[in-house]
Amino acid sequence: MAEIGRVLTAMVTPFTEDGEVDYPQARKLAKSLLASGSDGLVIGGTTGEAPSMSDEERLKLFAEVKNAIGDSGAVVAGTTDNNTYRSIEVSREAEAVGADAILMTVPAYNKPTQGGLVKHFIAIAEAVSIPGILYNVPSRTALNMTAGTTLKLAEVPNIVGVKEASSDADQIAYVIKGAPDGFNVWSGNDNETFSIVSTGGYGVVSVASNIIGNQVKGLIGAVLEGDIERAAGEHLRLLPIFNALFFITNPIPVRYAMNRSGFNVGPPPPDASGRRRDGRVCSAVRSDHGSIPNRSPQRLMQS
């Protein structure tokens, strides 16, 4: 089983023009991401557009990616929704097809109590033997998982961390301070990676690392080396890219950026301002790096 690393890329899911999952492209993309700074991949999360896929498609995607990368990187499978029993079923099946861990998202729409969250996540975690990572993203789910709830769940043996996207600095710091050994905090927002890792967080589940993985890895590396001045400079240098990828709903901008990189992931969701958006994202990358990294299938096959 692959180790769950610090730079986990929230991998874009390639689709065909007909809206089908493009599994060959997914395999190529997974290999490319690991070659450019990613330690592991979150498959079927927010950026991967899990709601756009059936359970069968998600499971096949988990298997295809794991078969492509083997133990060179961790596959963290986004398996959960607001139905506990269905979450258990998909999580078990994800483990069976080779996933190294599961990502357990706070349920959307239902708005359970904090006690309900504890029961929901414990039921899922106890149904599998692979590690589980909690995912707190109140901007998507309309419910914040409190620090107290997170720390209570941190005592569950195979719940090994949380992807924190609440943007509540006090809450995140409280979790970092109170977490037991072996429980890690990943930033759920690229523009908060520097602050979270600087205060003891472990890493990031990154959207930006779909296109600038080595730079994201370098930012975290500078913090871990104690070179805060260099890390801060790198954060400020990359901040326009982080913000450009989120100036409208993720994953629309990053899908444009991936296509412009020479790696076709299929059309983004339709939007009238596409040309303006495309220009903004690509300009942010070019202003810092000169060009978007090339991940064309031809280059991948030659590597």
Residue 236 falls within a domain, yes or no? no
Residue 82 falls within a domain, yes or no? yes
Using the structure block, give the residue that is written with the tokens 């205060």. Answer: 199
Residue 178 falls within a domain, yes or no? yes
What 3-state DSSP class applies to 143? Answer: coil
Residue 257 falls within a domain, yes or no? no
Residue 279 falls within a domain, yes or no? no
Using the structure block, give the residue that is written with the tokens 């006690």. Answer: 115
Residue 248 falls within a domain, yes or no? no
The pLDDT profile of the chain, 303 residues, written as one tens digit per residue, is: 779 999 999 999 999 999 999 999 999 999 999 999 999 999 999 999 999 999 999 999 999 999 999 999 999 999 988 999 999 999 999 999 999 999 999 999 999 999 999 999 999 999 999 999 999 999 999 999 999 999 999 999 999 999 999 999 999 999 999 999 999 999 999 999 999 999 999 999 999 999 999 999 999 999 999 999 999 999 999 999 999 999 899 999 999 999 988 899 998 766 645 555 556 666 666 655 544 455 544 334 333
Asked whether 203 and 5 are in contact (CB, 8 A), the reply is: yes
- Which residues span the domain enclosing 27? 7-218
Global pTM exceeds 0.85? yes
Is position 109 annotated as part of the catalytic site?
no
> What CATH code is carried by the domain that includes residue 152?
3.20.20.70
Residue tagged active-site, from 23, 31, 66, 135: 135
Binding residues: 47, 205
Binding residues for pyruvate: 47, 205
Residue tagged active-site, from 31, 163, 202, 256: 163
What's the structural domain count of the chain?
A: 1
Residue 61 falls within a domain, yes or no? yes
Predicted confidence at residue 45, as pLDDT, reads 96
Asked whether 295 and 261 are in contact (CB, 8 A), the reply is: yes
The 10 Å CB-count burial string (b at 16+, else e) for 219-249 is bbbbbeeeeeeebbebbeebeebbebbbeee
Is position 135 annotated as part of the catalytic site?
yes
Residue 187 falls within a domain, yes or no? yes
